[in-house]
Amino acid sequence: MRRTPQALEGALSQLRREHLWRVRQDVEALGTRTRVRVGGRLLVDFSSNDYLGLAHHPEVSAALREAADLGAGSAASHMISGHGPEHSRLEEDLARWTGRSRALLLSTGYMANLAALTTLAGRGERVLLDRLSHASLIDGARLSAARIQRYPHCDVAAVESALETSTGCAVLATDGVFSMDGDIAPVAELAVLARRHGAWLVVDDAHGLGVLGPTGGGVLEQAGLGEDEVPLLMGTLGKALGSFGAFLAGSEDLIELMIQRARSYIYTTALPAPMAVATRKALEIARSEGWRRERVLALTARLRAAVSDLPLVTSWTPIQPVVLGDNEAVMQVQARLHEEGFRVVGIRSPSVPKGSERLRITLSAAHTEEEVDALAGALRRACQGWLPGERMAGRRG
């Protein structure tokens, strides 16, 4: 796409023509994240990543309020004077939770992935990435100036042959739970391969933490993988924990290397201390209230069973895509669902590969069975005429 001043108007209208225009809406939270108001309409929200229903938990909000006197801003980076005891305590809690020696707080998951990949890989080396990796892993790899090799989604054999055919692979990185598909990476197999070939394995478990594993420790807890098998874990605090921020976790030395070298850690303002306090409360609830995990996974199974005739992806996590494979189709179905009182967001390319455009439905422990059943009905009606086979027929007619 050309973006010279003269071509700007043309470039924008091309996006509209191709149904790729993104509209940002004011989404008003109404005390509970499952109910939102958009353009004056009350909707049940099936688009947030608040899997455990903690984003508006009264105890988390109370912790934030009580910590408000610590100030809205940290006023400096972690290395200058922005790092306080609240940050250290949260780091200790996160390390204990994930079974790692040490954790390091970063301002966002995007920045955490930049930190991980730019610190571990450099020019002349290689980064192997799953074809469906999150954009922040891709950008981290690009910024590292290493050579990027994308392998077919979750294809362990392809990873093995890539590792065998040439040397100089520095990093193998993958999402734990894939953000747009909800399926789980073959982390145990990847860990064996990475160790055998001396590559760093980085797992971005933004969507697994809090949701999977006996204490919500994510895909690595579920697979029983410690820091010997997976040296670097990235987790976000803005999804299942319902707050904001991110962390890297690994050995003392690896975390120390991040502190010394990672530019997206060093050259940015530290997370505000009240956020760290609120996150500790959210983490305490996430760890101790196992029913939240059970509930969101049970609601997920309920929805899948109710719409098993729709083109779902094989996913057992609260991320449930309905793949329509067409930009216009996802936008039309999104609008119909809105009319029926549901907020579900269509995901188009380049967020997902062309031809796999989808509705990305996400569930929360805060949803009710009735809401899930109502969504299932509305979804089936909204998809009518826009499913891959029907659409072709409809357009010809």
Q: Where on the chain is the footprint of ligand PLP (CB under 6 A)?
A: 108-110, 113, 134, 136, 175, 179, 204, 206-207, 236, 238, 246
Cα angle: 322, vertex 326, 332; to 5 degrees: 75
* Structural tokens at position 339: 């009319």
Closest CA to 366 of 243, 281, 246, 240: 240
Q: Which is nearer to ligand PLP, 132 or 331 (CB)?
A: 132
- Measured from the CB atom, the residue of 279 and 300 that comes closer to ligand PLP is 279
Which CB atom, from 175 or from 326, has the smaller least distance to ligand PLP?
A: 175
Is residue 279 within 8 Å of 90, Cβ to Cβ? yes
Structure tokens at 381: 């009606």
DSSP of 45-70, one letter per residue? E-----TTS-TT-HHHHHHHHHTGGG
Q: Which residue lies nearer to ligand PLP by CB, 213 or 329?
A: 213
CA distance 116 to 114: 6
CA 36 vs. chain centroid, Å, equals 21
The three-class DSSP label of residue 151 is strand
To ligand PLP, the closest distance from the beta carbon of 38 in angstroms equals 21
Cβ distance to ligand PLP smaller for residue 34 or 317:
317
φ, ψ for residue 292 (rounded to 5)?
-65, -40
* CA dist., res. 311 & res. 386, Å (int): 11
Q: Shortest distance, CB of residue 42 to ligand PLP, whole angstroms?
A: 26
Nearer to ligand PLP, 219 or 376 (CB): 219
Determine which helix (DSSP H) or strand (DSSP E) holds 235, and give its type and residue range. strand 232-236
> Is the CB of residue 99 less than 8 Å from the CB of residue 119?
no
